[in-house]
Amino acid sequence: MRHYKQCSIKNVVPGMETGQPLVDENGKVILHEGTVLNANLIERLDQWGVTELVIHDGDDSVGLVDRVPLTKEQQQFVENYQETVKSLSQAFQSVRYLNTVPLEQMRELANDTVSKLVHSVGVMNHLQMVRRQDEYTFHHSVNVAVLCGVLGRWVGYQGQELQDLILAGLLHDVGKAKISLEVLNKPEKLLEEEMQLMQTHAALGYKLLRNIPDLPNEVMVGVLEHHERMDGSGYPLKLDGGRIHPYAKIIAVADVYDAMTSDRVYRSKVTPFFVLEMMAQKMFDEYDPSICEVFLRNVRSCFIGNTVQLSDGRQAEVVSAGQPIFTRPVVRTKNDEFIDLEKNREIMIVQVLKA
């Protein structure tokens, strides 16, 4: 089990690893959990006025989540999921090397295999139990498509509209196939100029799709606008809320949720509970509040029954989603102590052990 401790910034040394995300007063993540600290980072944190950090204090059970036996339903989900990722990877090769989007293949994926994942009982928990660090772009595209389908159903989409939304989620990062592999697969955080190049992927995706016959305009616009933000701070067009397409607003929520709950080469994932807190803080600025409210309200209930690890080292079970306006749940420890994490904010969930 991973252990955590509060450490004064004066006692932090290079090589230590952060045990929980560090956020500023606006809810923006400064450091992700699992960041390995170096001398330069420690000096900057001290200059920013950070006085304490939660760090990993030993780890005698690396990969604990991976060793938790999967249920039969989860095993079937993982098999279907891996096949979908494999098929999507092959489709993206056509985009990278032939400069063409195999639309029929993508439609078949969206309408058949991804839809099966969307309609799986317990889909949100199944996604948590899938290990997905390698080939991040393909896993992420499948995850976003699934989340778009789940959120789309919660919002009220059905039939062809729901299928088009899932397709838009599956294609949302297709422009990354035109980004150099050196930048796309870089094993550490991108430099500023590399980040600017990466941000062209939304427009590149739209250019790849705009001349394809029979592709709904809503799908193309969803791909183009999925990084736009309600306050106009997004890209590539700096649109504000009233001008952003509804598909793009849903993809934006699915995109950020999956990105933060996924392992990356240069940082560890954070728990869905932390992401929900962050989204609640930003839902009136960056994300559509009506869509966020539906997502937060529904997804909180999905995690009841999960076994989690708390920041004080104890294991607990999520027994209640808590009050409707809050994002922190109520948990029960092994010695039957009930903790309302909304009221006891010194304790947080740091890992989902079993979903």
User: Per-domain residue ranges for the chain?
Assistant: 2-62, 68-269, 304-354
pLDDT at 46: 77
Residue 334 vs residues 55, 187, 309: alpha-carbon distances, Å: 24, 39, 11
pTM, full prediction = 0.80
Tell me the C-alpha distance between 20 and 22, whole Å.
6
CATH 3.50.50.60 assigned to 2-62:
no
Task: Tell me whether domains 2-62 and 68-269 share a fold.
Answer: no
Per-residue pLDDT of the chain (355 residues; tens, 9 = 90+): 456 677 777 777 766 778 777 776 555 667 777 777 776 677 777 777 777 777 876 543 333 334 456 778 888 898 899 999 999 999 999 899 999 999 999 999 999 999 999 999 999 998 887 866 567 889 999 999 999 999 999 999 999 999 999 999 999 999 999 999 899 888 777 899 999 999 999 999 999 999 899 999 999 999 999 999 999 999 999 999 889 999 999 999 999 999 888 866 555 677 888 888 888 888 888 999 999 999 999 998 899 999 998 888 899 999 998 877 667 899 999 999 999 999 998 888 888 888 8
Q: Which two tokens stand for residue 215?
A: 């592709």
Residue 108 vs residues 95, 105, 163, 191, 282: alpha-carbon distances, Å: 17, 5, 10, 37, 35
Selected from 3.90.330.10, 1.10.3210.10, 3.30.1330.30, 1.10.3720.10, the CATH number assigned to the domain covering 68-269 reads: 1.10.3210.10
Tell me the C-alpha distance between 104 and 98, whole Å.
16
DSSP 112: I
Tell me the C-alpha distance between 80 and 83, whole Å.
5
pLDDT at 243: 96
Q: Are 173 and 137 in contact (CB under 8 A)?
A: yes
90 contacts: CB under 8 Å, gap ≥ 6: none
